[in-house]
Amino acid sequence: MRTFFDLLVDTYNKYSEPNKKKQKEVPDFLKSILVHIDYKLRSNDITFEIPFVYKNKKDFDHIKVIVPNYFTPQQLCELIDGDEFKSNKDFVDIIYKDFRIVFILVPENNIPMTFWYYSWDILPTLMNVLFDKFGMTFTKDGLKLKSKGNFLLSTKIDEIVEFLGLNFKQYRNGFFTLENEINFLMNSPSFNADLFFEYKLDTNDYFYKEKSELFKKSLEIFEPFKGAPGNFKFSENTDEYLPFIVEYFQESGIMEKLFGRKNKYIKESKN
């Protein structure tokens, strides 16, 4: 039987291109739109972020822009000289020169975390498959503990990424292809390919259509790893992971939430 490492090497070789380090050019029409948005928002002193996508991406049907939630849809449309708009809670879809721009409205202090949540395409969603087995969920507000009323554990993206045993520097520097993003995730000690075939995307997610297409492509890559002996075996009881979660996210106050007192280790370390 081929080992998990053999499968990992095969997959890496299959999806790695000889010139993968050479970034493709961004389409000219998209450049002009990005320049326009950047100018309009900066000239009005508006804090904003545009999430990362993998660097070789050339097919865009929209771009996302994260802005403070004190704007009305009408104001955003007029601000960028949009042609028409429609809104749905925290999302404002605007058509500018026949191109779709999706504004994501969040409290200004939440913009950095939201930026990372929507960056790197399907990767945060794939990470959530693993977080789910620990009893947690990765949201645009940060990493939360589901069993304790969605208690907020962290808004530090490096801390969140490294919980899964992944290299934050690599995550921050980015990826050249969708396959690179997936290969990165497969380096997690908690990786289990079988979980992705059991996972169901949220059909109420505003970007469900986009995510479902990418998730399907991801499953094609995970296929050779189904049932592989190297897959991490999760416990069905997520409470078994609470001691590790409490220790890892000490600064979150999760100890007080669970037991009404601070971690003894924290007290002793300060003395």
CATH number at residue 33: 3.30.460.10
* Residue 229 burial (C-beta neighbours within 10 Å; 0-12, 13-18, 19+): exposed
Are residues 34 and 16 located together in one domain of the fold?
no
Can you read off the two tokens belonging to residue 231? 């897959």
> What pLDDT shows up at residue 82?
95
State which H helix or E strand residue 96 sits in. strand 91-96
Structure tokens at 42: 């900066």
Q: Does 106 share its domain with 57?
A: yes
Domain encompassing residue 64: 28-112
In this structure, the answer to whether residues 146 and 56 fall within a common structural domain is no
CB neighbourhood size of 143 (10 A): 28
Q: Give 28-58 pLDDT, tens digit per residue.
A: 888 899 999 999 999 999 999 999 998 888 7
Q: Is the pLDDT of residue 187 over 90?
A: yes
The pLDDT, as a whole number, for residue 14 is 52
Average per-residue pLDDT for the chain: 87
List the one residue out of 252, 257, 251 whose CA is nearest residue 270: 251
Closest CA to 206 of 137, 103, 113, 120: 103
Q: Is position 32 within any domain?
A: yes
**DSSP reduced 3-state for 151:** strand
Residue 127 resides in a domain: yes
166, pLDDT greater than 50: yes
For residues 126 and 209, state if they share a domain.
yes
**Do 148 and 103 reside in the same domain of the chain?**
no
This prediction's pTM = 0.84
SS3 category, 139: strand
DSSP letter for each residue of 104-118:
EEE-GGGHHHHHHHT
Please give the average per-residue pLDDT across 137-164, as a whole number: 94
Residues 169 and 253 in one domain: yes
Q: Are residues 108 and 166 in the same domain?
A: no
Distance CA 39, CA 116 (A): 22
Evaluate whether residue 175 is within a structural domain. Answer: yes
Residue 22: pLDDT above 80? Answer: no
Question: What percentage of the chain carries pLDDT values higher than 70?
Answer: 86
pLDDT tier, 17 (very low <50, low <70, confident <90, very high otherwise): very low
Q: Is residue 98 part of a domain?
A: yes
Check whether residue 34 and residue 15 sit in a common domain.
no
Q: What's the structural domain count of the chain?
A: 2
Say if CB 137 and CB 151 are below 8 A apart: no
Residue 97 falls inside a structural domain: yes
Q: In this structure, what token pair is assigned to residue 46? A: 């508006």
Same domain for 194 and 157: yes
Spatial separation of the C-alpha atoms in residues 269 and 184, rounded to whole Å: 35
Please check whether residues 74 and 202 belong to one and the same domain: no
Q: Tell me which of 59, 79, 112 is where a domain ends.
A: 112
Q: How far is CA 158 from CA 91, 106, 129, 165, 169, in A?
A: 26, 21, 18, 11, 8
End residue of a domain, out of 112, 134, 163: 112
Residues 162 and 91 in one domain: no
pLDDT tens-place string over residues 88-147:
999 999 999 999 999 999 999 999 999 999 999 999 999 999 999 999 999 999 999 998
Classify residue 270: in a domain, yes or no: no
| One domain, residues 148 and 257 | yes
Domain boundary among 112, 132, 157: 112
Q: Is residue 34 part of a domain?
A: yes
Closest alpha carbon to 81 in 69, 59, 97: 97
Residue 268 has pLDDT above 80, yes or no: no
